[in-house]
Amino acid sequence: MSIIQVHGLQPLKGEIGIQGSKNAVLPMMAASILHKGTVVLTHVPGIQDVYCMKGILEYMGCVCTLEGDRLTIGTDALTDIRIPEKYLKAMRSSIMMLGALLGRCGEAVTCYPGGCSIGRRPIDLHLHALEKLGAQIEERDGVIKATAERLHGGEVNLSFPSVGATENALLAAVLAEGTTVIRGAAREPEITALCSMLNCMGAKVTGGGSDTIWIEGVKTLHDTVFEVPGDRICAGTYLSCIMASQGEAVIKGVCPGQMAAVLQAARQMGAEIKEYENHIAVAMRGRPEAVNLKTEPYPGFPTDLQSPVLSLLAIGKGTGSIRETIFEGRFATALELEKMGARIHLEEESALVTGTYPLKGCTVEAADLRGGAALVVAGLAAQGETTIRNCGHILRGYEDICRDLQKLGANIRRVL
């Protein structure tokens, strides 16, 4: 059981570099198997989810070498088409291997990834998209067998801009015969990055980042070296930490243009933000102003920063609210924040929060990845020591949150 301890009320100061994006690198690792050769990814974050995806690729026969932040994936010897249940249970997003396996091998066997602490997380849109491209999907006793003699181009209409379903459709379409159009596609920057990487490999994808993506199937791809973009959610988390501590710092290695909704909310909460080409400067004097926010698909306010901003509202001046429209179970952290003195009223998909400052340090439990990070945000604005248990969740997406925040002067350490 990993434990982090935070002593709060210390303004964070200095500058911090942002790791590679978890939600960009995972689909890129899946995409690598579309090519029989070598794919190199740089600026790869050293996080549990990357190690898990690396384990899946190696299970399938790939040769993966991670040296620092450089990951070399040799896919010549890929032989296995199964995504074992243990990996899916450890990391739901391994379901995005489906499209890549169908594209490479014409078949894939997996099981339902199941829900997690933030929601049911069905995969109906993924399976619908793959069937539109010629896959036959058999489901029996929780096992999913997908086969396709030859994937063909088609029209995929997503009823919701699912990030994962967009990625699976993209990966299945790259080597399919003919042209595919994905309408209602997710527009997240991680999709744009994946499309750029696929084109770097020799694919023909246009419209990445818009709600309509066109893919002209090609017969072969080629070796590639590609850099993973900075993690905008990690940057937004550290922005919340700096604001909670009433500090002043520079966040480097991230594109402000990908964080427009986040920076707008931060400014509404009273942060002074200066934007540069690939870094932002933030200064926060006093407690956050209360705001009313709603999470939405990109370019709206990201659901992955809902919990960190809930912590900011918990110390805000007045009463604010957050409406969660993406995942139905993403308020588990509210119960932990209440242990620290936060005043949060949950009503269906919204949280009404009356700020109080400072919070009081105590022992709390991380329920999920971003919820755990939100408890670090809260601990930075709490009197005394906050002990956060179950921090394995945090390690899935943040390389080393203690190392990074210590660089900004935070009194934080991992004790287990």
Active site residues: 116
Closer residue to ligand EPZ in complex, CB, 48/321: 48
Q: Which of residues 146-205 bind ligand EPZ (CB under 6 A)?
A: 160, 162-165, 186, 188
Site string for ligand EPZ, 315-334 (x = CB under 6 A): -----------xx-------
CA-based torsion, 78, 83, 86, 92: positive or negative: positive
Amino acid at 72: T
- First-last CA distance in the chain: 7
Shortest CB 302 distance to ligand EPZ, Å: 6
Tell the smallest beta-carbon distance from residue 96 to ligand EPZ (Å): 8
**Exposure pattern of 392-408 as b/e (b: 16+ CB <10 Å)?**
ebbbbbbbbbbebbeeb
The verdict on 124 binding ligand EPZ (CB under 6 A) reads: yes
Contact segment (CB under 6 A) with ligand EPZ among 114-122, 236-244, 247-255, 382-390 equals 114-122
CA distance 290 to 312: 9
Closest by CA position to 265, among listed 228, 302, 230: 302
Q: Which residue is nearest to ligand EPZ (CB)?
A: 164
Site string for ligand EPZ, 42-81 (x = CB under 6 A): ----------------------------------------
Q: From the CB of 93, what's the least distance to ligand EPZ, in Å?
A: 4
Q: Is 303 near ligand EPZ (CB under 6 A)?
A: yes
Task: Give the span between the Cα atoms of 316 and 375, in whole angstroms.
Answer: 15
Q: Kind of pairing, strands 279-283 and 248-252?
A: antiparallel
Stretch that binds ligand EPZ, among 119-127, 143-151, 198-206, 332-340 (CB under 6 A): 119-127
* Residues 9-38 within binding reach of ligand EPZ (CB under 6 A): 22-23, 26
Q: Is 304 in the site for ligand EPZ (CB under 6 A)?
A: yes
Interface pick for ligand EPZ out of 193, 364, 369, 412 (rule CB under 6 A):
369
Secondary structure E strands in 237-318:
248-252, 272-275, 279-283, 292-294
Exposed/middle/buried for 99, CB within 10 Å: 0-12, 13-18, 19+? Answer: buried
Size of the site for ligand EPZ (CB under 6 A): 26
Alpha-carbon distance values, 403 to 16, 92, 136, 314 (Å): 10, 27, 47, 25
Instruction: List contacts with ligand EPZ (CB under 6 A).
Output: 22-23, 26, 93, 119-126, 160, 162-165, 186, 188, 303-304, 326-327, 369-370, 397
